[in-house]
Amino acid sequence: MHQVPPRRRENAGAPVLAVCRAWSIGRRVLALSLMFTMFLGSLIIPLHPKSVMASALGIGQGYWHTRGTQLLDANNRSVRITGVNWFGLETSNYAPHGLWVRSYKDMLNQIKSLQFNTIRLPYSNQLFDQGSMPNGIDFTKNPDLCSQLLPTGGACQKALAGYQIMDKVIAYAGSIGLKIILDQHRPDSGAQSALWYTQQYPESRWLSDWIMLARHYAGNTAVIGVDLHNEPHAPACWGCNDPTRDWRMAAKKAGNAILAINPHWLIFVEGMDCFGPGGATTAPQATCGWWGGNLMGAAQYPVRLKVPGRLVYSAHDYPASIYQQPWFQAANYPANLAGQWQKLWGYIQTQKIAPLWIGEFGSRLQTSSDQQWLKALVNYMGIGVNGLSWTFWSWNPDSGDTGGLVDDATWSKVDTMKMAYLSSILFPLPYPGR
């Protein structure tokens, strides 16, 4: 089957309205130191009755855990992740994108008002380096992301560091009842990586940054878990027992190291692109699909963590406009999609192995094929609290091949076609204290 060519969905070059000198702060110091706006105008989003019930009952409090294939909140009530990806911290802007147009609080308020309950927040390990200076921020709209403003004009004299901007986003998200999943999207800010490490950012750095974050956010129930690495793919393998390439082994190592510090976090483990006997990664021995979208290896080589009730498997899925996978050319498309998904990752849920989270899926919906794909995927994921968890790619309109949920010009006008597909599978959470 086809290997998927490298894709770069994030646009790294954001407009720089105010580039400020970031604080000089070492990683050791980092480890230690560690309104409502536009609601969519005329768009009204119908909610499933079970979603309305979730808000009414105050579901979703505290840390979340698993039981069988179900996610549960701190009071053992069933919950479901239904959210968006908001990228930028992993790029050379070292800040969530769109802050050159709006304030981060405005955008979080709008995400909440649209009934999403979770944000997958990508970052790169390079974010935590001394020389990684946040840019592409209008500090007149985001004054609290700057430690010192000039008396006139709103120009920033000293910016917050990237990890402090992450803190600000997470703190405000938690204050309005949004949950956060941290996503190690790439080691450096330049490009995706097949492995969870590179020569510049070795596995030891990957592990130490996760441990640092586990300590830093310990006790903060807005952060419910961590996506250990985005879209692992060949030469990475699953079950080949090569410690330099075996993603399952690495996920177990990192997951246990994180849980030793913060035992309350969910550990999200993505699939591979290819899996075959003995962890083979090439056809014809291996069955291949999307990067991060093949969990076939988990049946024979499961991830086992020392803390029960914390493992969630994750898959990514995309339509034909991203890459012409063979199943899109089948005579019975789109009826064949459910069987394809069941083989690659759906069995995780139906065989009651663990909860399943579709961490990325998205499209510009400019073709009938893509529209058929999204309709089928939404139906497959199901409605209500027992449906599959998901985070849509992406909130950002500057995702090159998928676009986003808001427009490029204002970052506020919502794509009503995309929301029409997603509205039936939302699971909103209440504001804290309600």
Strands 70-72 and 65-67: antiparallel
| Selection from 398, 347, 383, 283 nearest residue 9 by Cα | 398
Query: Do the Cβ atoms of 173 and 222 come closer than 8 Å?
Result: yes
Residues classed as catalytic: 231, 360
Longest dimension (CA), the chain: 66
Residue 352, exposed/middle/buried by CB under 10 A (0-12, 13-18, 19+)?
exposed
What letter represents residue 299's amino acid? A
Q: How far is CA 364 from CA 133, 231, 304, 398, in A?
A: 31, 21, 37, 11
CA pair distance 345, 174, nearest whole angstrom: 30
CA dihedral 365, 399, 95, 166 (to 10 degrees): 50
Cα-Cα-Cα-Cα dihedral sign, residues 315, 83, 107, 320: positive
* Distance separating alpha carbons of residues 163 and 166, to the nearest angstrom: 5
